[in-house]
Structure 1
Amino acid sequence: MSETLPTVLDIEASGFGRGSYPIEVGIARADGSCCAFLIQPLDEWTHWDPKAELLHGISRDRLYQEGHPVRQVAQWLNDELSGLGKAYSDSWGYDNTWLSLLFHHAGMLPRFRLEALRILLSEEQQAIWSGTKEAMITEVDIHRHRAGEDARLLQLTYQRTRNVIRGA
């Protein structure tokens, strides 16, 4: 019996805190496929943290060359997620802030809600989450700190913790 996986959204950003903005958004769909888009920074988005770049490996120049316009990314998210009504994030506080910024600058409203992934987790799942996630990182060839692949990692960790708890 295969159950539907939650759709997970992840955002990489120019840094943390005041002035930071989204630079990549990715989703892992319920069928396990994932997709991500780099985002072209707007002129007023000037904050850049070199430590964040070391983590995600995305340069500002690359965003200008390969990134998609803010409005196009917001439209893609609405197209992907409006039918579901919601997606989940493990860093809701940050991701929701960056998502709001993206939609604000796109001049659009999101047609879905972003919710904290932890609301789907039982206490037992939460207890084994970190260890399971670390195991998944070593088992699965995932490029960490890229939005689509991080979303898929979270989805796989959710699935593994659920299966362990159920004894599957």
Structure 2
Amino acid sequence: MIQPAIIDIEASGFGRGSYPIEIGYYLPDGRAYCTLIQPAPGWVHWDVAAESVHGIRRDLLLARGRPAVEVCRDLNRQLDGQFIYCDAWAYDYTWLNCLFEAADMVPTFHLKDLRELLGECEQTLWHATRAAVEVRLQLRRHRASGDARTLFETLIEARKRCAADWAS
């Protein structure tokens, strides 16, 4: 079975006008990447409810965020030709396009929906398995690379549980 690369994107809010503020991924070999994204000109939407979830302040992005073109170059160099999976495809696809559009670039990797990898058993176990993984990992901050790792570990654990059930 595929052990996928997982990506997660934190954003300024949801819906119209929102944009990516942090992007991170977790690879099957354990390598991870995470970076804050400097708001591009015209990226002004800010939702305090979203900030309360991800805990990233806009002034932090302005001070420490990296320009879209740098982030896109990193992603293309490190993920070139790969399928990379996310759990909120409709949002993540929009935010990824927003990022690459700001950089006037095109991704050289393919974004796919994590649900494509889930069988019926994994779908049934997903929420309980994710809760157990979150307790086990005890990640202190809600960040993109940590969320990507949580998704990866949840998929692997759910698959193991389903395989054990099937073998019994």
- Both structures adopt the same fold (TM-score exceeding 0.5): yes
Q: Per-residue deviation at 1:5?
A: 2.3
SS at match of 2:111: strand
User: Shift of the alpha carbon at 1:48?
Assistant: 0.2
What TM-score does the superposition give when structure 2 sets the normalisation length?
A: 0.94
Report the equivalent of 2:70. 72
Identity %: 47
Check the 8 A contact 1:38/1:68 in 2, yes or no: yes
Deviation >4 Å, runs of 4+: none
Partner of 1:28: 26
**AA matched with 2:3:** L
Which amino acid counterpart does residue 121 of structure 1 have in structure 2? Answer: L
Alpha-carbon offset, residue 32 of structure 1 = 2.1
Q: Flag structure 2 segments of 5+ consecutive residues without an equivalent.
A: none
Q: Which residue of 2 aligns with 1:94?
A: 91
The corresponding residue for 2:41 is: 43
The alignment status of 1:166 with 2:163, answered yes or no, reads yes
- The residue type equivalent to 1:157 in the other structure is T
Look up the match of 2:133. 136
Report the alpha carbon displacement of residue 4 of structure 1 after superposing the two structures with TM. Answer: 6.0
Rounded to whole Å, the distance in 1 between the matches of 2:158 and 2:57 is 34
Q: How does 1:148-167 map to 2 (within 5 A)?
A: 148-167=145-164
CA contact (8 A) 1:14 1:49 kept: yes
RMSD (Å) for aligned C-alpha atoms: 1.3
**TM-score of the pair, normalised by structure 1:** 0.94
The answer as to whether partners of 2:81 and 2:110 remain within 8 angstroms in 1 is no
Kindly tell me the number of residue pairs found equivalent between the two proteins.
Answer: 165
Could you tell me which residue of structure 2 aligns to residue 12 of structure 1?
A: 10
Q: Is residue 2:109 matched to residue 1:112?
A: yes
- Given that 2:10 and 2:21 are in contact with CA atoms closer than 8 Å, whether structure 1 keeps it comes out as yes
CA distance in 2, matches of 1:100, 1:151: 19
